Every structure is written in structure tokens, then in C-alpha cells.
Amino acid sequence: MAKSTADSLGVENGELAEVSIDGRTMELPVYVMPGHAVGSVTLPLGYGRTEAGHVAGCWEDQVDPVGFDTYQLRSAAGFSAGSVLATVKGTGKAYPLATTQDHHLIDAVGMEGRDNRLGELVREGDLSEWKEHDDFAKHRVHSPPLGAMWDKHEYDGHKWGMSIDLSTCLGCSTCTVACQSENNIPVVGKEEVINGREMHWIRLDRYFQGDIDDPEDDIQAVHQPVACQHCEMAPCEQVCPVAATTHSSEGLNDMVYNRCIGTRYCANNCPYKVRRFNFFNFNKDLKEPRNETLKLVKNPDVTIRSRGVMEKCTFCVQRIQDARMTAKVEERPMVDGDVTPACAQACPTDAIQFGDLNDEKSRVRQAHDDPRSYSLLGELGNYPRTAFLARIRNPNPVLEPASKETKAVVTHG
């Protein structure tokens, strides 16, 4: 439900609310979703999981069921429960909801800081702005000329890079799922997500634009997939005391699991916060005999990490090596399209491009040269390897009368 609806009902995010329709009552957790139609409540249909073994619902080992069976609120009268008005009232009981973002609702100080920087992080413009200045995104942030503390690396062979087009990205999170299965990323469970220890190497950042307290305001959501940017001047590489994260000769920011001792300094110094730490041995249960088949889930080309080491996006280095070997066997140079990381492969809209930046004709190189391209937090002087392509909005003037100027537009110039 919308924030204003929750306020008027007197319920809070994560509070159990009593929902009654036509005499049938259920206690369901409230999840505030800015931009939701005001004055209405969405109940996702599903049965919940009552007997799914150790994942959810196992009475032998006292594992509680998860989820809610909202069908109990519907009657045979028809699919439309809306014919009768639902009543919602708070119970004051809390229900832990695990989300990977906004682990707690952001206070006023945080919201202000967030709003100020949003236009610089996720750069957007509308059609007219793009027609006027097609490189508008590059001018959202102006910084003094950037230097570098060390000599830049030089790349004679390949120079791998990525681009993400925010115009075509739907925010569907398929990349996250593909990455998780490709790279043997542990599923940490609800409790650890609540503790803020999710392991995703690529995540979907989602922000709301507009005043979420104002029921009249038209809330827009913006989103942006963020993985390791493989910075040229990577802040993480400088601070590791044992040199466990280093730059490869092809521009990858490599993570050497065997060398990592787990000081987590790299994670602190990463401005994108894409580094993930194995706070526990999340693969411990693989050793149990009953989990022999689980091993088959794992990708044999990718290391299984134990506890105490840092990990992050590798640009699917195993696929790069595989493509290199294939090309060698076929006695030909590697060409554009030989390497596709899992996220790019799974992306339904081809928003993610990957390839050799040294190859003038590669799609990723063209994307980097696109006027819309910009570097996320490029003003820090990290020289990130991933280019984002600014999102162009072209709303139908009948549906959305005036395009709202983002704050960044106001501050620019």
C-alpha cells in the first residue's frame, strides 16, 4: 500500500495488520510501496509454503511455514473481492520482512541526502533534453580535472568492459538471479538478509522520486543494476594488506579467494558497496550426505567460497577463459560476442553489453562512446569500467502532462 494509505490507516511498514473482507479475517504484514494507488491495498495471491521441508514448514524439526495464503480471504462469490470493502486495522505486532534495500525506513535527514544525489546517480532526461544536448548525462556532475595517484594500466590485448543501458533496463532482476546461479552465490536466507548480509554480486538499486507522504504526488521509481565496476584506479586494490584483490592484464579487478584473509577493508573503501563477505560458511551443508545432490546445482567452473573471504562480480571470468580456449582450439582470434556474462545473457532487453573495449567495433565500445554514457560516481577518480547509458523518458503528454524536472537538472549550469 502507499505511504499515505498506511498513515491514514495507522499502520506501519512491517506491522501485522488485520485484514477483513466480508467476515473473513487474516493477519498480514504491511509492506509500504510508494507509488501504489492511494486508498487501495494489494494482496499478493499465493498459498504460502506449509510443508516445504527445512526451507519452510517442517513440523518434525519445528520449522515454521512461511508466507500467507491470501486465498482464505476470497469466497466462491467470484474473483473480485473488491465488491465488498475490506477493512484494515493495525495490530501493533511486528512481522520481520526481509528486503535487500531500505532495511529500515529512511529518516528525514537521510531522505534529504538521498534526494540531493539521486539525479547524479541515476541520470535521466526527457526526449527534448536529449535532442538539445545528447551528452546531457555527462554534465549532470561537474568535477575538477581528475588525476591519478598511480600510473594507469596499459592494455595491449583485451580490455574487458561492460555497459548498462538504463533506457532499456526494466528492473526485472533477472540478471541477479542468473548471476546467483552462474557464480555459486550462496542463498543466505531470510535472517541473514535482515542482518544485511545478502550475497548478490549484481543488485537492482531502486529509488522513488517524489514526496512519498503526499497522496497527490505522482511517484516515479528509478532503478539501476549495480555490479562491480572494475575500476581502473580501484580503491579496493590499494587498501588490501595482502594484495588479494589486484588488476589483471585485461582490466579485470580480480579477487583472489585463496589469498584473502578477510579484513573487509576493500568493502569499506568500495564506493559502490558491491563487495560481499562470507560472514559464515554458507556452503557448510554441502558436506552432509543428504545434500550430495545439491552439489549438482553448483557450477563446476566456479570456486565454492568458504567463510571469511570476500567476493564480488568477476565479469564471469570463467566464461572469458572458456571463450579464450574455444577460440584457441578453433585457431582464431576472439571476436565480439564470444564472451557473454550470465547477467548479459539473461537480460531480456539486452540492456547489458559486454566485450572488448580495445575492439573499435564491439557493441560495448560503441555503447561507451554513446553520448548518453556516464560513469557512476566517476567524479571520485576511480575510473569505473562500467558505463551507464542515461535513461531517456518520453512520456505521453496526455497521460503525464508535464515532465518533472529532476533535481540534477535544476542544479546543472
**Which residues of this protein are in contact with other proteins, per CB under 8 A?**
101-104, 106-107, 109-110, 113-114, 116-118, 121, 192, 195-198, 203, 205-207, 226, 235, 238-243, 259-265, 267-269, 271-273, 275-281, 307-310, 377, 380
Nearer to other proteins, 175 or 339 (CB): 175
What is the closest distance, in whole angstroms, from the C-beta atom of residue 103 to other proteins in the complex? Answer: 5
* Matching residue, cell 575510473: 383
Pick the closer one to other proteins by CB: 200 or 365: 200
CB of 132 to other proteins, least distance (A): 26
Closest separation in Å from C-beta 306 to other proteins? 8
Dig out the grid coordinates for 100 from the structure.
535487500
Least distance to other proteins, CB of residue 8, Å: 26
Q: Rounded distance, CA 376 to CA 363, Å?
A: 20
Q: Which of 348, 344, 385, 389 is nearest to 367 (CA)?
A: 389
C-alpha 382/C-alpha 324 separation (Å) is 28
Question: Strand (E) positions, 37-85?
Answer: none
Give min distance, CB of 296 to other proteins, in A: 26
Q: Which cell numbers hold the place of 313?
A: 562480480
- Kindly state the smallest distance separating residue 25's Cβ from other proteins, in Å: 33
* Helix or strand run (H / E) with residue 63: none
Q: Which is nearer to other proteins, 49 or 197 (CB)?
A: 197
Q: How far is CA 412 from CA 190, 224, 394, 406, in A?
A: 42, 21, 21, 10
Which residue lies nearer to other proteins by CB, 65 or 308?
A: 308
Other C-beta atoms within 10 Å of 1: how many? 25
Residue 268's CB: how many other CB atoms inside 10 A? 12
Of the two residues 149 and 398, which places its CB atom closer to other proteins in the complex?
149
**How far, in Å, CA of 109 to CA of 121, rounded?**
18
Kindly state the smallest distance separating residue 305's Cβ from other proteins, in Å: 10
Nearer to other proteins, 265 or 383 (CB): 265
Provide the minimum distance between the beta carbon of 253 and other proteins in the complex, in angstroms, as a whole number.
14
Q: CA-to-CA distance for 312 and 305, rounded, in angstroms?
A: 11
In the chain, the N- to C-terminal Cα span, in Å, equals 38
Residue (203 or 230) nearer to other proteins, CB: 203
Instruction: Please report how many Cα atoms fall inside a 13 Å half-sphere around the Cα of residue 401, on the Cβ side.
Output: 1
Which among 329, 19, 350 has a CA at the least distance from the CA of 337? 350
Nearer residue to other proteins within complex by CB, 191 or 350: 191
Q: Is 31 exposed, middle or buried (0-12, 13-18, 19+ CB in 10 A)?
A: middle
Closest separation in Å from C-beta 121 to other proteins:
7
Least CB distance to other proteins at residue 84 (A): 39
Closest CA to 316 of 227, 198, 186: 227
| Cα 39 from Cα 241, distance rounded (Å) | 55
Q: Give the contacts of 147 (CB within 8 A, at least 6 positions apart).
A: 381
- 9/236 with CB nearer other proteins: 236
DSSP 205-254: EEEEES-TT-TTS--EEEEEEE-----TT-HHHHH-TT--EEE-TTS-EE
Shortest Å distance, C-beta 54 to other proteins: 19
Comparing CB distances to other proteins, the nearer of 116 and 299 is 116
Closer of 113 and 337 to other proteins (Cβ): 113
